[in-house]
Amino acid sequence: MIEARRLHILRAVADHRTVTAAAAALYLTPSAVSQQLTALEQETGHRLVERGARGVRLTPAGEILLGHTNAVLARLELAEAELAAYSSGSAGTVSVASFATGIGLVVAPALARLARTAPGILLRVQDAEGDASLPMVLDRQVDVAVAVEYRGAPDADDPRLAHIPLYAEPFDAVVPRTHHLADRTEVPLAELAKDPWIGPYPGNPCHDVVVLACEHAGFQPRLEHSSDDFRAVVALASADAGVALVPRSALQGMDLTGVVVRPVDGVAPTRRVFAAVRRGAETHPLILPVLEALAEVAEAPSGVPHLG
């Protein structure tokens, strides 16, 4: 009989590619993870992982078992949801990881809405970049992620996760007031090809949006300054250090005295924001109201930016 706990460990190793990283995500020791993998191999009668200089990879037998693992764990999540519904599940804590702007736009308003509509549900919120929150959900560190689409992110049909679209917003061009394009009503990205750029670090989903937009305009941005804090990005642009693309919502309430903010000429670079939970957990009686509140806030005529 295969233990579900060991399947979860197998998936963590497949996701993180090393025993050490999987152990850290699961709050276990590397030796404990190795022991559980060995026990799983004994249960199945197959070698499931191979260790090499670059970490751990699944064998063909391991890949077969991983496919079933995703289905089994999703069914277990669904079973927990139905059992919780059976016992009413009207009170409890739901943990949410979101990037900072997402917290301000949808998570905090959803928290306030739940205080009125489902006072028994307590949200515990963590600030995490969009590329970090999805692994946190898969590793059961949090229940819900508010994340951004990025290269390498799990697809919407990923068997491990359920996706709930929330909103999409454009990036605007931010240039110093002394810039030669400051008087334009819209900024063509191609005309910023020779400028120094300010932007997020590689790995931040917004970095991918900026680089892809510039590539589509025919150039690679010369990133001279890096920060994941858009207030710092705007401050550097105000000091004439370079130009930037910034999500429209991130500019709200910011000191823009030293810069000019203009829409991008043509098709605007866009970040698409969604909520994600482990597949099968989307109907859990504690998690479902949270997802509904996030979606309702995102659809409401408020400060949440939408693309038509």
pLDDT of 308 reads 44
Q: How far apart are CA 37 and CA 2, in angstroms?
A: 11
pLDDT of 219 reads 96
Residues 6+ apart with CB under 8 A from 240: 176, 178
Q: How far apart are CA 307 and CA 270, in angstroms?
A: 9
pTM metric for this prediction: 0.72
Over residues 57-103, the pLDDT tens digits come to: 899 999 999 999 988 888 888 888 877 766 666 678 899 999 988 99
> 234 with 259: CB under 8 angstroms?
yes
Q: How far apart are CA 304 and CA 259, in angstroms?
A: 23
Residue 102 in tokens: 């997402």
Q: What is the mean pLDDT, run by run of 10 residues, along the chain of 308 residues? A: 87 92 91 91 90 86 92 87 70 91 94 92 90 90 92 84 93 96 95 96 88 93 94 96 94 92 91 94 92 92 58
pLDDT of 268 reads 86
